[in-house]
Amino acid sequence: MRNIRAKTFLMVGALGLLVLHLCKDFIDHKTIRLHVDVRENNNQIRKPTKNNSYVFFWPKCQQNISAANISGFSSLPIPIKDFLYYRHCRHFPMLLDLPDKCGGADKSADVFLLLVIKSSPGNYDRREVLRKTWAKERLHNGVWIRRIFVSGTSGSGFEKERLNKILELEQQEYHDILQWDFSDTFYNLTLKQILFLEWMERNCPNARFLLNGDDDVFANTDNMVVYLQSLKDNDGSKHLFTGHLIQNVGPIRSSGSKYYIPVQVQESNSYPSYCGGGGFLLSGYTALVIYNMSLSITILPIDDVYMGMCLAKAGLSPSSHMGVKTAGLYIPSSTLDGYDPCYYKDVLLVHRFLPHQMYLMWHRIHDPTLKCSPSTKRH
């Protein structure tokens, strides 16, 4: 009898331990899942899959109808109205991703210069020429240059499908496109910028430096690598944000301008200092700081000014680099050839170039027989 009692006692005890152990596992799992939920953000929808994992996706962002209540709304141009209706939307489904572009988050420190080029789906010819010229992925001066095009969608219906198909084909061949399902319009460029930074934090957080620019600039990426290597802090862990510095300007209030910003979008009459968006260089450190700041700053549709706002909030300043000419090059006389390669050999970046000009110039500045007199060298 005693024996049986003791046995039962032991068995119950063991069972209890087992249950406790199982519960612990269960609680642990719950906690892990909870962490995932919090990290992935509360608004995301989580769908279980058959293999016991989850897929996350963002619900379609709804138009903010109250935007129409802003005073003077009805007299605003349609793109501005559209912007105000969707200003709060920050997440869109990804159509093309490159999770391994930088060799994974840990290995991403091997990327010295990441070229982040904003490109609309229809700009196939520009992407093709950039891949063969300044945006070629390569080892230069002992360090890696990698390339990413960042895109939304254009058109609707069959046209949208066709354009998406082009990007899909390019992706199969080159593995260099990030695409989200939002309309790739001028006033959505800030959104494109933020989506890229969010992707970078996830997939390429240790890239040393970035060139952030448009697909119609001529960038002398060889010179950029040399310039970045010459910095005292050349591992990307310190603040750097440099380009064509623009200061003491404010929103353009005339509705005919491409850059029109009515008071309904921004009330303040001044912008912080910023670098022209055609192309600027920044460190990986600064890119992540900007992303962090962007989480709490309302979107302004002018992407380069928005970068300036994020820097200002972080207490950082953009700086000027004389080699970045986003407003074009100054050619001293109209009788001189504006495309003399000697003007371009020493610059970092010039806006704006057509694809055939890009192709020719990249080859001419690399011509070993090119001779430049000091008068054609520009700094």
Ligand X SMILES: *[C@@H]1O[C@H](CO)[C@@H](O)[C@H](O)[C@H]1NC(C)=O
Cα gap 87→173, rounded to integer Å: 35
Closer residue to ligand X (CB): 66 or 172:
66
Q: Regarding beta strands 143-153 and 349-351, do their DSSP bridges make them parallel or antiparallel, or are they unpaired?
A: unpaired
Quote the least distance from Cβ 300 to ligand X, whole Å.
Answer: 12
- CA-nearest of 364, 373, 359, 287 to 131 is 359
Quote the least distance from Cβ 18 to ligand X, whole Å.
Answer: 28
Q: Is 66 in the site for ligand X (CB under 6 A)?
A: yes
Contacts to ligand X from residues 284-313, by CB under 6 A: 292
How many CB atoms sit inside 10 A of residue 348's CB?
26
SS3 of residue 282 by DSSP: strand
Q: Is 51 in the site for ligand X (CB under 6 A)?
A: yes
How many CB atoms sit inside 10 A of residue 82's CB?
17
Q: Is 86 in the site for ligand X (CB under 6 A)?
A: yes
Quote the least distance from Cβ 193 to ligand X, whole Å.
Answer: 13
Q: Is 79 in the site for ligand X (CB under 6 A)?
A: yes
Give the DSSP letter of residue 240.
Answer: -
Quote the least distance from Cβ 83 to ligand X, whole Å.
Answer: 4
Q: Is 88 in the site for ligand X (CB under 6 A)?
A: yes
Cα gap 59→40, rounded to integer Å: 13
Cα gap 133→219, rounded to integer Å: 9
Closer residue to ligand X (CB): 152 or 276:
152
Stretch that binds ligand X, among 9-17, 66-74, 329-337, 362-370 (CB under 6 A): 66-74
Q: Which residues contact 20 (CB under 8 A, 6 or more apart)?
A: none
The backbone region for 184, taken as left when phi is positive above 0, alpha when psi lies in -120 to 50, beta otherwise, is beta
Residue of the chain from 182, 196, 343, 362 that contacts ligand X (CB under 6 A): 182
Q: Is 67 in the site for ligand X (CB under 6 A)?
A: yes
Q: Is 70 in the site for ligand X (CB under 6 A)?
A: yes
Quote the least distance from Cβ 67 to ligand X, whole Å.
Answer: 4
Q: Is 69 in the site for ligand X (CB under 6 A)?
A: yes
Helix, strand counts (H, E) of the chain: 10, 14
Stretch that binds ligand X, among 16-24, 79-87, 232-240, 366-374 (CB under 6 A): 79-87
# binding residues, ligand X (CB under 6 A) = 20
Radius of gyration, CA atoms only, the chain: 26
Contacts to ligand X from residues 112-171, by CB under 6 A: none
95 contacts 166 by C-beta, under 8 angstroms: no
SS3 of residue 121 by DSSP: coil
User: Where along the sequence are the contacts to ligand X (CB under 6 A)?
Assistant: 49, 51, 53, 64-67, 69-70, 79, 82-83, 86, 88, 182-183, 185, 187-188, 292
